[in-house]
Amino acid sequence: MADYRHVIFFSLVGGVFSLIGGIILLSKEKYAQALAKYATPFAAGALLAAVFLDLIKEGLQESNANTVLTSALIGIVVFFFAERFLHWFHHHHQHDGAPDASVSLIIIGDTLHNALDGIAIAAAFLVSIPTGIVTTFAVAAHEIPQEIGDFGLLLHKGLSRKRVLLVNVLSALATTMAAVLTFWLGSADRLPIGVLLGLSAGLLLYIAMSDIIPEIHERSDNQRLFEWQPILLMIGALVVAVCINLAQRFISG
């Protein structure tokens, strides 16, 4: 049975992975950009497998299909409106001539993504420790290319390397804070585990389908990468599927 120590440790692991891509960018930009191109489709496959083979499946064992799927839909809609608000905020302040509006948008968006990662990690640990570890891996996989992009944008906006690193360290703490809050809500039956798993599935599905996969299509700028993208997506899904299978065997003894 998982407790707060597991949630805090693995959410911190997720936060560390969210910084790895950015740190690579600060030291070796060319290598980091190449890594992001190939890590992005892998991350998409990993997230999709975690959603359909782990979170939704476990949610259906904890609650009825209507509750889990409705919660997943709510997760998608909530994240859509959250991103919609951020885009409105950026557009509104851009017209007002606020030079730091885009920087604020990047930081807020990154913090929101990290908080959602924490929710998914904690919801998975409410089921079992192996399920939580698998979800942490899937979440960490998509953080590396995402943070490479965020670090690059902030550097392009004129922030110093030290300030970019500090901002992202503070943003990464949102993963642990959200994870602890979610685990507290779920472990005390303040929110049913099936609802939390459904919400997490919806949030991660939105990230995979709305953010990551469109980015894959945009990055199909050469024939070799175009050919490798679907293979890497399937590898990401397969790796998580194998991890889930091993986790289930571990649980069943």
Q: How far apart are CA 165 and CA 25, in angstroms?
A: 11
State residue 201's pLDDT score.
Answer: 95
Q: Provide the sign of the torsion angle of the four alpha carbons 200, 213, 24, 141, taken in this order.
A: positive
Q: What is the CB neighbour count within 10 angstroms for residue 234?
A: 14
Q: What is the pTM of this model?
A: 0.86
State residue 94's pLDDT score.
Answer: 55
Stretch 154-164: mean pLDDT: 82
Residue 145: exposure state from Cβ atoms within 10 A (0-12, 13-18, ≥19): buried
Stretch 194-206: mean pLDDT: 94
By percentage, how much of the chain surpasses pLDDT 70?
92
State residue 67's pLDDT score.
Answer: 96
Contact 121, 175 (CB under 8 A): yes
Secondary structure (DSSP) of 150-176: HHHHHHHTT--HHHHHHHHHHHHHHHH
Single out the residue of 55, 77, 195 nearest to residue 121, CA to CA. Answer: 55
State residue 100's pLDDT score.
Answer: 57
Q: How far apart are CA 224 and CA 178, in angstroms?
A: 39
74-110: pLDDT as tens digits? 999 998 998 888 777 666 655 555 545 567 777 888 8
Q: How does 113-138 read in b/e, with b if 16+ C-beta sit within 10 Å?
A: bbbbbbbbbbbbbbbbbbbbbbbbbb
Q: Is the pLDDT of residue 46 over 90?
A: yes
Q: How does 35-62 read in b/e, with b if 16+ C-beta sit within 10 Å?
A: bbbebbbbbbbbbbbbbebbbbbbbbeb
| 97: enclosing H helix or E strand | none
Q: How far apart are CA 253 and CA 248, in angstroms?
A: 8
Q: Is the pLDDT of residue 189 over 60?
A: yes
